Structure 1
Amino acid sequence: MAALKDARRLVVKIGSALLVDRTTGALRADWLASLAEDVARLRKRGCQVILVSSGSIALGRGILGLPTGPLALEQSQAAAAVGQIRLAQAYETALAPHGIITGQVLVTLEDSADRRRYLNSRATMETLLTLGVTPIVNENDTVATDEIRYGDNDRLAAQVAVTSGADQLVLLSDVDGLYTANPGLDPTARRLDQITQITPEIEAMAGDGLSGLSKGGMITKIMAARIATDAGCDMAITLGSPDNPLLALENGAPASWFLAQTDPQAARKRWIAAMKPRGDVRVDAGAAEALDKGKSLLPAGINAVSGEFGRGDPIAILSPTGARLGLGLSRYTSQEARSIMGRRSADIEQILGYKGRAALIHRDDMVL
């Protein structure tokens, strides 16, 4: 059984209704302060936390005096531009008393659909966490149109969990889990505390998205669960409205846990291994030995580059004799790789004219 106390890297999704009072449009500062207490406690025991938060449009529309109901795209984007500043400030104000530095990360669907952007996002997130920062992630509503939108923060949170290699995802919701039927209509409905596999029957419990009969937005949560669990991340749906919702979950509050069948690193390696290489690099004996010890592939260990590939593309890693050692995602284009092969990482900036990354393929982006 999954438990929040076991989380090493945790993504928490917070919806607009939890952050912003629907009647007044004001920030629920006391609730946010209680969430900050939860985050501080988790960090103190060594858990890294990423917050995926809605709320920018809800905050902005109140400040701009925009009417209730659906907004035109331009109005939504204007509200987001105003609200994002307030949202970031709210999190900074809530977390700073605990000695926590926050960083704002704005993303669109393209950032995960494009491998180059995906690798950049992953590297940025990893660096923020390594530096002790708590990232506050939101969809970039000021520029995202329908074609490049996630559309809901449940799936955005799941994709952030995948990108960051999180082992647990918590969706703070207006319901305390997935029920066999709508509990508001069916007195025999029961909550499913643990789901080991997302079957068609489980999906049917979430309602019919085509007819609009979704039960509490549960369809997007099931979609998020599939994304997360396929990537080795456990996911929980729990009630978010009480103060200290993460502490409540840790103490046994009602929830539905969707269990992953593997760990995030193994799932990522499996994803990379299934790709078709766009080119290859041949390494020397020293580099082959370093790779065998779990090291990244540096330009100095490469003596030949074949094919045409871009940043983020999969390339094969060949031994000095041409045998295939593995596959990895390149941090350089084929042209750049040819320019820096055999050279020290310290020389990259002088050769390319800009400061690049030390490794051509990082060990986290490689399967042998």
Structure 2
Amino acid sequence: MDARVARFAPAACPRLVIKIGSSLLVAADGSVRREWLETVIDDVAARRAAGQQVVIVSSGAIALGAKRLGLPKGGRASLEDAQAAAATGQIALSQIYAEMLSARGIVAAQILLTLGDLEDRRRFLNVAATLDRLLSLGVVPVLNENDSVATQEIRFGDNDRLAARAGQAAGAAGVILLSDIDGLYTANPATDPSAKLIPTVEKLDAAIDAMADGTSGSGLGSGGMTAKVQAARIANSAGVHLAIIDGRRPAPLQAFAATGHGTVFVAGEGARGKKAWLAGRLTLKGKLHIDAGAVRALATGKSLLAAGVTRVEGRFERGDPVEILGPSGTAVARGLAGYDAADAAAIAGARNEAQAGILGYAPRAALVHRDHLVTL
């Protein structure tokens, strides 16, 4: 077996997350593509029989609900329509998965999540514990964003990033995104005949981000390939491999195992525990700009001292997550602030011996301690 593909095989990947998008699951007329979905569930059953625990992240609730309710624009004419469609479609979606998995002797479970469920540390741990127990019992959890209550401010907006975050919570070793495009290309394959599929991405950098934007990447734009690359970054930060493969064909997981066709984002060792959760966060409360010396210090595993901070942005309290940016404006780390924004700004650039006089109290050991910091 291809080494790229072997990373997602049961032997190397005891837990796998599979994401199914709306465009694959729901036909243009709003009906479920049952014949195709049966082949995907066959794939899932085969992997479970081989000893792999599987989590499914599935879109499609809004599209299904909109058809049942007769709502215009696929249920997205307004937030209220989308929420009503999601509530109606989710029960239908759950029933379909429960029936198909049950026909293969597998119990299904449903978990609906909002962004806050995975951004808040305590709730994240609750989700992780639930997934772990379900998987240990042989259940296939089916996850989706809880669009019936989520608003623009508290939603993932796409299930690619939800799948990557769920992979962290589940302790998965791999995430596979079933897509209506077969991977990341050097340019938009729809308009550029010279565009080439990139089979392996070893490093997520600015060049990869450029390939995924709305003009030079897949042409899918935000929520399309852009979201998939963001998902890869979230997954890889926790040491989780991620693959984008063609989901349009029948039995797509079997086809990937046989051909290796797709794009694999290879993870390094990655962070673990609280640091992995922090690296994969989508919401941050502020920014700390630091100098080149501080960047070098963080790279060696040291804490962030106030002396290396050049500017503070945002409103945050002590313990809130903040992004740490180098002189070029590129994010180099994330961490939990040791001070609120006002005190952090007051001591920015000051050495430790000067901080007590500025603050009026004894300073802490660091502005962001290394135990609460992860480099990117």
**TM-score after normalising by structure 1:** 0.70
SS at match of 1:170: strand
Residue in 1 that maps onto 2:265: 258
Residue in 2 that maps onto 1:229: 236
Residue in 1 that maps onto 2:167: 161
Query: Does the C-alpha gap of structure 1 residues 269 and 76 become closer, same or farther in structure 2, counting only changes over 3 Å?
Result: closer
- Does 1:240 find its partner at 2:247? yes
- Does 1:93 find its partner at 2:93? no
Please say if residues 239 and 267 of structure 2, whose CA atoms lie closer than 8 Å, have aligned partners that are also in contact: yes
Query: Does the C-alpha gap of structure 1 residues 93 and 77 become closer, same or farther in structure 2, counting only changes over 3 Å?
Result: same
Q: Distance in 2 between matches of 1:214 and 1:59?
A: 22
Query: Does the C-alpha gap of structure 1 residues 109 and 35 become closer, same or farther in structure 2, counting only changes over 3 Å?
Result: same
Residue in 2 that maps onto 1:27: 32
Q: How does 1:352-363 map to 2 (within 5 A)?
A: none
- Identical pairs, percent: 49
Cα distance, 1:220 vs structure 2? 0.5
Please say if residues 40 and 251 of structure 2, whose CA atoms lie closer than 8 Å, have aligned partners that are also in contact: yes
Cα distance, 1:241 vs structure 2? 1.1
Residue in 1 that maps onto 2:181: 175
Residue in 2 that maps onto 1:267: 272
Name the amino acid aligned to 1:200: A
Residue in 2 that maps onto 1:2: 4
Q: How does 1:79-158 map to 2 (within 5 A)?
A: 79-158=85-164
Q: Distance in 1 between matches of 2:78 and 2:238?
A: 36
Please say if residues 237 and 276 of structure 2, whose CA atoms lie closer than 8 Å, have aligned partners that are also in contact: no
Name the amino acid aligned to 2:41: A
Query: Does the C-alpha gap of structure 1 residues 118 and 27 become closer, same or farther in structure 2, counting only changes over 3 Å?
Result: same
SS at match of 1:198: coil
Name the amino acid aligned to 2:257: E
Please say if residues 2 and 234 of structure 1, whose CA atoms lie closer than 8 Å, have aligned partners that are also in contact: no
Cα distance, 1:251 vs structure 2? 0.7
Name the amino acid aligned to 2:263: S
Please say if residues 4 and 260 of structure 2, whose CA atoms lie closer than 8 Å, have aligned partners that are also in contact: no
Q: Distance in 2 between matches of 1:13 and 1:87?
A: 14
Residue in 2 that maps onto 1:40: 45
Please say if residues 177 and 237 of structure 1, whose CA atoms lie closer than 8 Å, have aligned partners that are also in contact: yes
Q: Distance in 1 between matches of 2:224 and 2:41?
A: 26
Root-mean-square deviation over aligned CA pairs: 2.4
Residue in 2 that maps onto 1:218: 225
Bigger shift: residues 215-224 or 162-171: 215-224
Deviation string 1:139-158 (CA, Å, 9 cap, x unpaired) is 00111111110011111111
Cα distance, 1:249 vs structure 2? 0.7
Name the amino acid aligned to 2:254: L
Query: Does the C-alpha gap of structure 1 residues 74 and 269 become closer, same or farther in structure 2, counting only changes over 3 Å?
Result: closer
Q: Distance in 1 between matches of 2:278 and 2:119?
A: 18
Q: Distance in 2 between matches of 1:93 and 1:21?
A: 19
What number of residue pairs does the alignment pair up?
273
Q: How does 1:207-356 map to 2 (within 5 A)?
A: 207-208=213-214, 214-215=220-221, 217-262=224-269, 267-268=272-273, 271=276
SS at match of 1:98: coil
Q: Distance in 2 between matches of 1:85 and 1:272?
A: 30
Q: Distance in 2 between matches of 1:7 and 1:19?
A: 25
Name the amino acid aligned to 2:132: E
Q: Distance in 2 between matches of 1:9 and 1:262?
A: 17
Please say if residues 24 and 247 of structure 2, whose CA atoms lie closer than 8 Å, have aligned partners that are also in contact: yes
Q: Distance in 1 between matches of 2:143 and 2:125?
A: 16
Residue in 2 that maps onto 1:337: none
Cα distance, 1:68 vs structure 2? 2.4
SS at match of 1:117: helix
SS at match of 1:68: helix
- Does 1:205 find its partner at 2:207? no
Q: Distance in 2 between matches of 1:239 and 1:196?
A: 20
Cα distance, 1:90 vs structure 2? 0.5
Residue in 1 that maps onto 2:343: none
Please say if residues 178 and 191 of structure 1, whose CA atoms lie closer than 8 Å, have aligned partners that are also in contact: yes
Cα distance, 1:94 vs structure 2? 1.1
The gaps in structure 1 that reach 5 residues or longer are: 275-311, 314-368
Residue in 2 that maps onto 1:61: 66
Which runs of structure 1 show a deviation greater than 3 angstroms over 4 or more consecutive aligned residues? Answer: 212-216, 269-274
Deviation string 1:224-255 (CA, Å, 9 cap, x unpaired) is 00000011100000110111011111111420
Name the amino acid aligned to 2:31: A
Query: Does the C-alpha gap of structure 1 residues 235 and 273 become closer, same or farther in structure 2, counting only changes over 3 Å?
Result: closer
